[in-house]
Chain A
Amino acid sequence: MRRDRPTRGGRRFADLALLFVAAPLAAVVANRLADGFVRPDARLVDGLFASFGLGVAVAALALPLGLAAALAARRSGPRLGAAAVTALAAAALVPGATAGFATLLFWRDLGIPGGLGVAALARAGAAAPLAALLFLHRLRDLPDDLEATARDLGAPRRMILTHVLLPHLAPTAGLAGLLAFLLAFADHDTTVFAIGGGPTLSTEIASRLELGTAAGAETLGLALVAAVATVLTVVAVLRRGRRGERPPLTTADAERRRAG
């Protein structure tokens, strides 16, 4: 999107916002530099793997379930569809503590104690509706006549799904998957209830902060953030190097481009 160059005041405002977001993490880094880094123990490393597994499991659950809900909401009538959107939004907004505790209660009554599986189900209860809402948002950009044309040309419904809808939704699927992974990996509030005493990175860091023994947890967390930031920067730099003609982001972009 083409706009005017940002003003000096605007740039300063953006810098302040950046500082605001970076400051607390910088404080933890400074704290560790002063007190020394501590090798994380085995339970923390287990927690890191558990968090990663949780993220993958929730993303794997949220994408197909969210897609099914989005397609179902879109094809149902206006009143049912609106009710479905309201329900999806409500489910996505339920506080993490409620979701975690309710899921723990429900599965314990069925004889299944808290653990990674219950935590994944608890988190997917919010991630799947979120994915559905993102899919619905993206589907609004799909030109109506594209489907109609495909149908008029005799395309079977399955083909419309695989050749029109899914390609259109692919970028959003990537975003929704990443979001679901992050929201599960990083989560404390839901997981602390549903995990049933096992370690995840976030719950371990939180409980050690409360006990005042978080040196190893902070070291591991900072190492992780630094590693991810480095990888992302390298990827971004490499991509910038071979940035040529990119596919248009939206149909509106494409039209604008065509119009010159």
Chain B
Amino acid sequence: MTTSRTIGPRRGPLLLAVVAIWAIGLVLAPAAALFERSLRSIDPASLEISIELDRLHDDLAATRWDWERTPDAEARADLDRRMRLLADRAGRLAGQETPPRVVHDLSTHARGLAAEARALPRTLGLAVSVAVVATLLAYPLAWFVLGAGRGGVGLVALLAVPWALLPVLRAAGWPILVEPTAVPLFGPDALRFVALLEVGLLAALPPTLAALRRLDPGWIEAARDLGAEPWIIHRRIVLPAARPGLAVGAIVAFALAAGALSTPWIASGGHGDDDLARLVWRAVFDAGDWGLAAAHAVVLTLAVLLGAALLARLFGLAPSDLLAPRRTR
């Protein structure tokens, strides 16, 4: 990019500094904290003495309990000797006790592996199906919305705002409509799919609409005047024009479905196996194990971002497209 395209007041360094501060403060530093937490564990060797001390004190308390309740003098003397021995050992060990040593290794990740191995395939399978179906539906839907003229787009906007207001409440409707455990074949997962499809469809529609609005209707008229069949018009003119929008829509639908926490859970009425995001939630709110939650969150994020990158490559979406001036079709 040449200097003739630079814009705004000449405050490049200031602008960059502002962006760097927010990128670090809002995104990078929390991500780093999460990653560090997922690697952090306590060296079990550093706890050995403390564990032994706990054991000695337990033993001591039990022996004293016996001693207080034994009338037999000989037995009492025996117990007394034992108590002295235990107290002696505890006293010596107490001086050697070390604070727990924090180490960085993969042991927390290893703990999370089994649950992740179960949750990852189902999460990705669900997200990919949502992305595929949402994209397939977004194309004809966008076409018909635009066919209804500017009023159609306005109607979508009018519906979308109340729709977007409380997704939690919307998800709650599905288990009312269908008993989650009574769905044949897929069970509660079918409701998760349907609820996530709704999210994905409404996320995929705007980029598809935006892409199709760029299409000059003159192209379609010309093709029709030249005798092209409707499906040829779609394949050669409309679909290529919609393609970047569909790509963005598929990526967003995939990411939203794969990372969703409340929507699938509420939609299936709490029935069914855990998805990845639910594992993070459980580790925090059920187990209070923040290290494990961090490990699950790292895996979830990598799965979502790698999947999105793969989809972008599949659709031939390049980041530089967003910087180049638009070519009109």
Q: Which residues of A contact B (CB under 8 A)?
A: 1-6, 10-11, 13-14, 17-18, 20-21, 23-28, 30-31, 65, 68-69, 71-78, 81-83, 85-87, 89-91, 93-99, 101-103, 105-106, 109, 121-122, 124-125, 128-129, 133, 136-137, 140-144, 147-148, 151, 156-158, 160-161, 165, 178, 182-183, 185-186, 188-189, 192-193, 201-202, 205-206, 209-210, 214, 218, 221-222, 224-225, 228-229, 232-233, 236, 250, 252, 256
Contact = CB atoms under 8 A, between A and B. Distances in A.
B182 interface: no
Contacts of A10: 140, 143-144, 147
10 contacts: A6-B144, A78-B320, A95-B300, A97-B261, A98-B259, A98-B300, A144-B5, A144-B325, A165-B8, A205-B168
Contact of A98 (B29, B143, B176, B297): B297
B286 to A, nearest CB: 12
A89 B34 contact: no
Given A72-B15, A98-B300, A78 B323 contact: yes
Given A6-B148, A17-B137, A188-B167, A97 B281 contact: yes
A205 B168 CA distance: 7
B322 A136 contact: yes
Nearest to B224: A4
A40 B16 CA distance: 47
B322 A95 contact: no
Nearest to A210: B270
A227 to B, nearest CB: 9
Given A28-B169, A101-B34, A202-B166, A252 B26 contact: no
B323 A82 contact: yes
Main DSSP-derived SS at the B contact region:
helix
Interface stretch (B65-73, B93-101, B102-110, B154-162): B154-162
B30 A189 contact: no
A224 to B, nearest CB: 7
Given A1-B149, A6-B147, A28-B172, A224 B166 contact: yes
Interface in B112-167: 137, 140-141, 143-150, 154, 158-159, 161-167
B168 A206 contact: yes
A221 B167 CA distance: 10
Nearest to A107: B30
A136 to B, nearest CB: 5
B7 interface: yes
B277 A95 contact: yes
B53 interface: no
B246 interface: no
A205 B258 CA distance: 22
B172 A182 contact: no
B319 A86 contact: yes
Given A105-B30, A222-B169, 17 more contacts: A3-B220, A21-B163, A27-B174, A78-B323, A82-B319, A93-B252, A125-B30, A137-B210, A158-B9, A161-B9, A182-B164, A202-B166, A218-B169, A221-B166, A229-B161, A232-B162, A233-B158
B259 A96 contact: yes
B190 interface: no
A109 B216 CA distance: 54
A125 B165 CA distance: 20
B324 A21 contact: no
Nearest to A64: B18
Interface in B170-205: 170-174, 176-177, 195, 198, 201-202
Contacts of A133: 322
Given A78-B1, A93-B304, A140 B166 contact: no
A31 B164 CA distance: 21
Contacts of A89: 308, 319
A101 B5 contact: no
A98 B279 CA distance: 11
Interface in B36-62: 37
